[in-house]
Structure 1
Amino acid sequence: MNRHQDFNTFMKARQHAASAYVSGNATPLARVVALESQATFMGPGGGAVQGTDAVWSRYESDARLFEAGSTSEFEILDMAAGDTVAYWTGYQKAMAHMKGKPDAIPMTLRVTEVFRLEGEAWKLVHRHADPLAEVKR
């Protein structure tokens, strides 16, 4: 079995989950997050969450901050998949409609995500995302 090809296919589902998430729908993300493996999340607002239940709870509550009509896309700088571990790193660019805000907010996050095979499915075990800062030279 060519797991790298499977990971490429999986990343299309991951992108779909990200798009749904920024529109307030965490359900597609539920299909790709770790259920058995240890999980961690270092979100754009700072801090860190550990443990599958705590991480999923955070993802669910954070998704409720977004409203329908938001968009998101990944700009993948690098990705690779081995037999049981895979990753991607790059940017997540979004136009986010946030609850209580009249206009969409542009967001660019620096992202690293790590995945592990659970059974035959890739599952998100670590996400680190933080805002891309403009560097003045």
Structure 2
Amino acid sequence: MADSNFDGVVERLGAALGEIVKGDPAPFQALFAKNDEVTLANPFGGVSRGWDNVTTTVAKAAAIYRDGEVISLENQATAVVGDLAYVVLIERFRVRVAGRADLDDVALRTTNIYRREGNEWLLVHRQADPRVGEQTPESVVQ
């Protein structure tokens, strides 16, 4: 299901991802709604809730990345229903992680939930993890 007002959301996310993998958190932070209900489950663990906590978590993630570039955003599913929408992506990028000398390939499975606020679609929840491929049943045991 498509909504012409939703067009461009994935491109905006990709552009912001392109900046965060270079160490700049600001464009990615700007994707989020500015309220206490917004949440982020980033690939480094935990769940942040509220604008202040989410932007702090995004800044910490940006500090881990350097010299990156986005390789692809593979859209797995998109739906728009009224003022809510979601996009499920596989995000692939090359980046230096945590001061490593070499560029590494990174792939994240993400779910991005948006709410329309005025004429703008803003993230209200993002979940990202590196579990892109199939996992063994034992992989869920802690």
Shorter-normalised TM range: 0.7 to 0.9
1:45 maps to: 44
Matched length: 134
Normalised to the residue count of structure 1, the TM-score between the two structures is 0.87
Residue 134 of structure 1, CA deviation: 4.6
Q: Is the 8 A contact 2:39 2:47 kept in 1?
A: yes
* 1:5-84 map, 5 Å: 5-36=4-35, 38-68=37-67, 70-72=68-70, 73-84=72-83
Gaps of 5+ in 1: none
Q: 1:67 to 1:85 in 2, by over 3 A?
A: same
**Higher deviation after alignment, 70-79 or 3-12:** 3-12
AA of the residue aligned to 1:80: A
Q: Percent identical across equivalent pairs?
A: 25
In 1: Cα distance, 2:98 partner to 2:29 partner: 22
In 1: Cα distance, 2:86 partner to 2:135 partner: 30
Matched, 1:85 2:84: yes
The 3-state SS of whatever aligns with 1:44 is coil
In 2: Cα distance, 1:83 partner to 1:16 partner: 25
Gaps of 5+ in 2: 137-142
| Cα deviation 1:96-128 (Å, max 9, x = unaligned) | 122421001111111111011122211111111
* 1:113-132 map, 5 Å: 113-132=112-131
In 1: Cα distance, 2:132 partner to 2:114 partner: 26
The 3-state SS of whatever aligns with 1:132 is coil
In 2: Cα distance, 1:90 partner to 1:14 partner: 11
RMSD, aligned α-carbons: 2.0
In 1: Cα distance, 2:97 partner to 2:134 partner: 26
Provide runs of 4+ in structure 1 moved above 6 Å: none
Normalised to the residue count of structure 2, the TM-score between the two structures is 0.84
**Higher deviation after alignment, 84-93 or 26-35:** 26-35
